[in-house]
Amino acid sequence: MHHRPPLARAALIGATLIGAPAAAQGPDTTAVPAPPAARLAALAPFFGAYSHSDNYWIEAGPFRGTLEVGPAVKGWYVEWVINTHYGPIDRQLRMLTTWDETLGRYRVWRFETLPQSPPGTVEAEGRFEGDEFIMEWKEFRGPQGQRGTFRNRIRMEGPDELVIISEVDPEDGETFRLAEWRNRRIITAGGAARR
């Protein structure tokens, strides 16, 4: 067994004891990250509760339901929740949007009541063109495996109507529209818009 001289042993014990309180202090609470509030504020015109009826997805419909848009996850994201129904179809679509400072762009994730999408196809890029917010899934796969870009164009038409135009831009063809989804702001019994 190897023995340390008493002075070396005392120095080792002292270094251990001195270092222990620093490790026990935990994370630096002066450098807590903040949500990208200024960038997400650009989405605030879309915030609110909406209803839709007589909307069609390609040839299916009429779909009826609700859309709610607002801050989520302690202000780090904006959540879009669509609940819609047509015959036996009872569908929910949730999208989370945030601003990524490192990438310098909006990121959007899509979760829905459908079989899982292939890896790499759940996340979209987001951007503004004027007052229109555009979400693009660039690794989109169609029902027969065709590749292309799936896009949502979101805009307000007046203060109480949110419009979502969904389209596909196939690799080997022309862009075509899947749907134009019109959502009317829900007005409470007192006449106020529900936000």
Distance CA 28, CA 30 (A): 5
Three-state secondary structure call for residue 91 = strand
Model pLDDT, residue 20: 46
Indicate the domain borders of the chain.
37-185
From residue 134, alpha-carbon distances to 53, 60, 85, 144 in Å are 23, 24, 25, 25
Model pLDDT, residue 158: 96
Model pLDDT, residue 170: 87
**If DSSP states are collapsed to H, E and C, what string results for 165-192?**
EEEEEECCCCCEEEEEEEEEECECCCCC
Instruction: Give the list of residues 6+ apart from residue 175 with CB closer than 8 angstroms, or none.
Output: 167, 168, 169
| pLDDT tens, residue by residue, 81-103 | 999 999 999 999 999 999 999 99
| Total length of the chain | 195
Distance CA 138, CA 169 (A): 9
Mean pLDDT of 38-59: 95
- CATH of the domain spanning 37-185: 2.40.128.20
Three-state secondary structure call for residue 146 = coil
Mean pLDDT of 145-162: 92
Distance CA 164, CA 149 (A): 16
Mean pLDDT of 48-63: 93
Q: Among the listed ranges 40-44, 101-105, 141-145, 189-193, which one has the minimum average pLDDT value? A: 189-193
Model pLDDT, residue 17: 44
The confidence band for 2, taking pLDDT boundaries of 50, 70 and 90, is low
Cβ burial 42-64 (10 Å sphere, 16+ → b, else e): ebeebebbbebeebebeeebebe
Model pLDDT, residue 5: 53
| pLDDT tens, residue by residue, 98-137 | 999 999 999 999 999 887 777 777 899 999 999 999 999 9
Model pLDDT, residue 13: 45
Mean pLDDT of 168-191: 85
Mean pLDDT of 73-82: 98
Q: Are 59 and 191 in contact (CB under 8 A)?
A: no
